Chain A
């Protein structure tokens, strides 16, 4: 049996950071000037989006 190859479990290199809380997911990011996404759902089942008022978000 070889150390690597078919039929052999391969140790994952990324596990340590996930197991110690050091994984970095999008919700963990915090950099200066970053933008945020917020989903606004349409109250209309079928409509055309003609314009968007983003003043409240600015």
Chain B
């Protein structure tokens, strides 16, 4: 067991974890932030994507201990005072979700895509960079539309 401390969604948190505890387990079970999902446990589906020090990571593939001292942002940390983040709003406006299970990971990956590719990211780039996020409902078309719309609105 060891103590880890990190800043999650702007709040300082710490907890006792085993060496093998995954970041997603720390978020979901210690902090009860269940917006971050585990879809596959094998780094394929992307439902667990969060940001660690501003970069997207699959939190089922990172140990809690590796995030010690980091700034972590989860889907719960995006909306402010009840207002959806522009990317969340774009997913809503473009019907970019159905069951919603993959959505937190999709939104967190989308933000990383915008951070790296800018507000006018093209469709081919969005499709290529979302390869690590699997959706079983939508067929991706509206997700891609949402990411592009959200990217534009973030620059507005």
Q: Interface residues of B: mostly helix, strand, loop or mixed?
A: loop
Report Cα–Cα, A19/B77, bound state, in Å.
Answer: 11
Q: Does B74 contact A (CB under 8 A)?
A: yes
Point out the residue from A15, A17, A25, A28 that lies within 8 Å of B91, measured CB to CB: A15
* A22 located at the interface, meaning its Cβ lies under 8 Å from any Cβ of chain B in the complex: yes
- Looking at the assembled complex, report how far the CB atom of B34 sits from the nearest CB atom of chain A, in whole angstroms: 4
Listed stretches B15-23, B97-105, B117-125, B127-135; interface member: B97-105
Q: B75 at the A/B interface (Cβ < 8 Å)?
A: yes
In the bound complex, CA of A45 to CA of B147 (Å): 47
Q: How far is the CA of A25 from the CA of B97 in the complex (A)?
A: 15
Tell me which of A9, A12, A17, A19 has the highest count of chain B C-beta atoms within 10 A of its own C-beta: A19
Cβ A18 vs Cβ B97 within 8 A: yes
Residues of A within 8 A of B11 (CB): none
Q: Is B79 a contact partner of A15 (Cβ separation < 8 A)? A: no
B37 proximity list for chain A (CB < 8 A): 25, 27
Alpha-carbon separation in the docked complex, A7 to B76 (Å): 34
A17 partner residues in chain B, CB cutoff 8 A = 100
Q: Please state if A12 and B103 are interface contacts (CB–CB under 8 Å).
A: no
B55, CB-defined interface residue at 8 Å: no
Flag if B100 contacts A30 (CB, 8 Å). no
Which chain A positions have C-beta within 8 A of B88?
19-20
Whether A3 sits at the interface, judged by CB under 8 Å, is no
Residue B38 is within 8 A (CB to CB) of chain A in the complex: yes
Check B78 against A18 for contact (C-beta < 8 Å): no
B35–A23 contact, CB under 8 A?
A: yes
Q: Would you give the shortest CB distance from B136 to chain A, in whole angstroms?
A: 14
Instruction: Give the distance to chain A from B19, nearest Cβ to Cβ, in Å.
Output: 24
A15's contact among B34, B76, B97, B104, by CB below 8 Å, is which?
B97
Which residues of A are at the interface with B, using a C-beta cutoff of 8 A?
Answer: 9, 11-12, 14-25, 27-28, 30
